[in-house]
Amino acid sequence: MVKLTPPMGWNSWNTFGDKINEQLIFDTADIMVEKGLLAKGYEYLVIDDCWSLKERDSNERLVADPEKFPHGMKAVADYVHSKGLKFGMYSCAGNLTCAGYPGSFEHEFIDAETFAEWGVDFLKYDYCYHSPIIHGKYLYSRMGLALENCGRDILFSACSWGADETHEWIKRTGASMWRSTGDIFDTWDSIKDLVKQQERLHPYNGVGCFNDMDMLVVGMYGKGNVGLKGCNDTQYKTHFSMWAFMGSPLMIGCDIRSMNQETLDILTNEEMIRINQDPACRQPMKLVGTWTGDDLLLYAKQLAGGDIAIGLFNLREEKAYARVNLDEVGLPFSTGKTLELTEVWTGEKTTVKNANFIKGLEPFDCAVYRAKVVNL
């Protein structure tokens, strides 16, 4: 599959871990439609690890746990499809999955055929318990080839955590997205750590193979499988903005059955999603700014059609001021042009004067603009 914009959807792992079952998936599918998530672009509903029995059957095929999924995976896929969604599942490049269930090592083709028969549209492929003497590029190429020969169009989501210098070879495997990080946790420190890993990887993100910064923790509030400390709504807004701005796939990880209005508003911000799904999918450019420091991140990204996205992210515990010179985005005084800014969270509009603008940001907060080039 060639994916033209970052995939969007929901994954069971962050909140539910091994506590998954058929009814949870049915209910989640219902809510994705009822709450308008599908309409905003969240089309994949993905079951993560712990869905199978601990042993394959006599034909070496994976078997869905009959207690968790009494009607089998084909019935689950059919229900998800009936809602207009696409259905995703999980496997691993090792002998075992990360939670100790059968992996797909040396079963790549039979597993790909099984997933196709069940109606799977998305495969998250992890990297636990893999062979220590076979390089990841070979293991992921095996499954990529198997999926492309299984008779069904299945999005290949490579989850090798950036190991073995994944960015150097992942596009060869047929993957549509690739994890560049270890697991996210529902803490500000985790979010901050993952985003700071991205700077050297920006050139490796783009149409057809998107850099996955891991699933979103927006709306978890410290509950669930990776809950830990939790974050506040300002931190969740900034987390979502950074993932969207940097072109990461957007995979919701909270329990959407009980999400509050603040969470829904963050996840469905049309302009932030529009930046994420921009058809050009260009990499962001880090801005130098003035007096920034390590925890004030300034980025610009040229969008299709000539607009510019500008993201100002304050990772600090105190207020900070972002100072941007338009020369950094190609608009010095000599061009006779400036930017008309629209902030995507507030709708506030402003026109930049004197080729510089300054924005105060509260602790952990951000400002993201869609900017139009206009005459001075």
Q: Which residues are catalytic?
A: 126, 183
Helix axes 108-118, 72-82, angle to 10 degrees: 50
Q: What is the biggest distance separating any 2 CA atoms in the chain, rounded to whole angstroms?
A: 74
Closest CA to 175 of 131, 130, 143, 215: 143
Query: DSSP of 251-308, one letter per residue?
Result: EE-S-TTS--HHHHHHHT-HHHHHHHT-TT-PPPEE---SS--TTEEEEEEEPTTS-E
Residue type, 302: Q
Residue type, 55: E
The three-class DSSP label of residue 325 is strand
For residue 5, how many other CB atoms are within 10 A of its CB?
Answer: 16
For residue 221, how many other CB atoms are within 10 A of its CB?
Answer: 19
H, E, C per residue of 12-54? CHHHHCCCCCHHHHHHHHHHHHHCCHHHHCCCEEECCCCCECC
Place of tokens 């100072």: 323
For residue 23, how many other CB atoms are within 10 A of its CB?
Answer: 11
217 in Cβ contact with 189 (< 8 Å): no
C-alpha triplet 209, 213, 252: angle, nearest 5°: 100
Task: State the Cα–Cα distance between residues 266 and 256, nearest whole angstrom.
Answer: 13
Closest CA to 372 of 335, 341, 332: 341
The three-class DSSP label of residue 182 is coil
Q: What number of residues does the chain have? A: 376
